[in-house]
């Protein structure tokens, strides 16, 4: 952990970070190869790195990419051009593992990856008590109805589309608390960061499901329309009653847990092919190299259960007459 933190601190001061140590090397960062195979003399590590850069899905072991060079001349030229453009002294941070291979993802770094807590209770449910709770529950149930009709059992597509909505509340609530903190000259109790972490985590769910399901034009149009409506509706709800808004997200996450459980059932029944996990998912959740879609759905479902708990907890804090800033936020609680 100390090493991760020092690597993160280094990100602010150096353009290139070299990661060392078995923990970072064991992040499943080479798709299709276990950490041990990275050390095996039979396959040069630079060749494996090239394989990782070339694939978006975990490659099948034994495929032919192993003999390509680590970085092509064209890629080197492009990198050089980007460096030259850095007139202002802002160089892109490059993360290099201690075997010399490049960290592939710029949308997240090794210190953002984590192992999901899949032991979380999936059956927890908050029984609505107040009128606000009942309205929140009713709203989520009402939103589920058209979703069920539109997507039916196309869970890959359904997950991808719902993640475009699920990533909105954390960002809205985080922004509202951020601005309030500035206006009132007061601490946030860590809630700004916790809510933005949730939004980022939801967006990573979307980045993952994009790899297994491509949206069609009318689905993209639907996302634009829904985002426009939902963003403003949730902002209004959060300003009027943060307790109800967090409760609604809690119920939304309960539904997400249910949907991902159905997704798993269809994979187990053979109705959905259990394809290799996207490489981005293997790195983000530190999954084993041979992980499949089923493993991905399990860790995403665990994330949703954590979001459920955080949002019901935030609503409870409000209901008990406290402001969120008075109670330390569950930062890093995925």
Q: Where are the beta strands (DSSP E) in the chain?
A: 16-19, 94-97
Residue with Cβ nearer Fe ion (19 or 310): 310
Chain residue whose CB lies nearest Fe ion: 307
Question: Rounded to the nearest whole angstrom, what is the least distance from the CB of residue 206 to Fe ion in the complex?
Answer: 8
Q: Residue 19: phi, psi to the nearest 5?
A: -95, 135
126 binds Fe ion (CB under 5 A): no
Q: Of these, 133, 197, 202, 295, which contacts Fe ion (CB under 5 A)?
A: 202
Q: N- to C-terminal Cα distance for the chain?
A: 16
What residues numbered 145-164 form the site for Fe ion, per CB under 5 A?
Answer: 163
What is the token pair recorded at 216? 């069609």
Can you state the angle between helices 217-240 and 242-268, rounded to 10 degrees?
A: 150
Q: If binding means CB under 5 A, how many residues of this protein chain bind Fe ion?
A: 7
Q: Of these, 25, 31, 157, 166, which contacts Fe ion (CB under 5 A)?
A: 166
Residues 291/281, Cβ–Cβ less than 8 Å: yes
What residues numbered 250-309 form the site for Fe ion, per CB under 5 A?
Answer: 253, 304, 307
Residue with Cβ nearer Fe ion (33 or 126): 126
Interface pattern 233-252 for Fe ion (x via CB under 5 A):
--------------------
Question: Rounded to the nearest whole angstrom, what is the least distance from the CB of residue 202 to Fe ion in the complex?
Answer: 4
Question: Rounded to the nearest whole angstrom, what is the least distance from the CB of residue 57 to Fe ion in the complex?
Answer: 20
Residue among 45, 35, 92, 94 nearest 70 (CA): 45
Question: Rounded to the nearest whole angstrom, what is the least distance from the CB of residue 249 to Fe ion in the complex?
Answer: 8
Residues 332/199, Cβ–Cβ less than 8 Å: no
Distances (CA, A) of 254 to 306, 312, 321: 10, 10, 24
Stretch that binds Fe ion, among 12-20, 196-204, 217-225, 262-270 (CB under 5 A): 196-204
Question: Rounded to the nearest whole angstrom, what is the least distance from the CB of residue 30 to Fe ion in the complex?
Answer: 26
Residue with Cβ nearer Fe ion (75 or 200): 200
Question: Rounded to the nearest whole angstrom, what is the least distance from the CB of residue 253 to Fe ion in the complex?
Answer: 5
Question: Rounded to the nearest whole angstrom, what is the least distance from the CB of residue 250 to Fe ion in the complex?
Answer: 10
How far apart CA 205 and CA 184 sit, in angstroms, is 34
How far apart CA 8 and CA 21 sit, in angstroms, is 15
Residue with Cβ nearer Fe ion (33 or 205): 205
Question: Rounded to the nearest whole angstrom, what is the least distance from the CB of residue 132 to Fe ion in the complex?
Answer: 20
Stretch that binds Fe ion, among 110-118, 141-149, 197-205, 229-237 (CB under 5 A): 197-205
CA angle 106, 65, 82 (to 5 degrees): 30
Distances (CA, A) of 105 to 20, 114, 241: 17, 15, 38
Mapped onto helix, strand or coil, the DSSP state of residue 286 is coil
Residues 51/65, Cβ–Cβ less than 8 Å: yes
Residue with Cβ nearer Fe ion (52 or 205): 205
Which spans of this chain sit near Fe ion (rule: CB under 5 A)? 163, 166, 202, 205, 253, 304, 307
């Amino acid at each position: 952990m100390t090493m991760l933190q020092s690597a993160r601190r280094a990100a602010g001061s150096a353009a290139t970070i070299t990661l060392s140590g078995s923990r970072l090397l064991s992040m499943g960062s080479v798709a299709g190869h276990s950490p041990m195979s990275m050390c095996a003399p039979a396959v040069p590590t630079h060749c494996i790195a090239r394989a990782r850069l070339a694939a978006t899905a975990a490659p099948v072991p034994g495929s032919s990419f192993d003999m390509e060079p680590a970085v092509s001349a064209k890629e080197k030229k492009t990198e050089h051009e980007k460096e030259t453009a850095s007139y202002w002294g802002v160089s892109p941070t490059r993360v290099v593992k201690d075997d010399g291979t490049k960290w592939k993802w710029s949308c997240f770094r090794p210190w953002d990856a984590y192992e999901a807590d899949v032991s979380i209770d999936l059956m927890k449910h908050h029984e609505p008590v107040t009128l606000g709770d009942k309205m929140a529950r009713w709203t989520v149930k009402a939103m589920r109805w058209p979703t069920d009709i539109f997507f039916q059992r196309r869970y890959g597509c359904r997950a991808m589309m719902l993640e475009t909505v699920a990533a909105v509340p954390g960002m809205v609530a985080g922004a509202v608390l951020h601005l309030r903190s500035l206006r009132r000259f007061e601490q946030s109790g860590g809630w700004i960061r916790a809510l933005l972490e949730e939004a980022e985590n939801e967006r990573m769910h979307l980045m993952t499901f994009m790899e297994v399901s491509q949206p069609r034009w009318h689905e993209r149009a639907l996302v634009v329309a829904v985002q426009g409506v939902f963003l403003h509706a949730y902002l209004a709800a959060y300003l009027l009653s943060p307790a109800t808004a967090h409760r609604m997200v809690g119920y939304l996450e309960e539904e997400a847990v249910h949907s991902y459980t159905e997704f798993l059932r269809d994979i187990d029944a053979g109705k959905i092919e259990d394809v290799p996990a996207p490489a981005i998912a293997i790195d983000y959740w530190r999954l084993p190299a041979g992980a499949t879609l089923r493993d991905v759905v399990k860790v995403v479902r665990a994330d949703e259960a954590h979001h459920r708990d955080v949002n019901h907890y935030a609503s409870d804090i409000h209901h008990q007459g406290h402001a969120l800033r008075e109670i330390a936020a569950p930062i890093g609680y995925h």
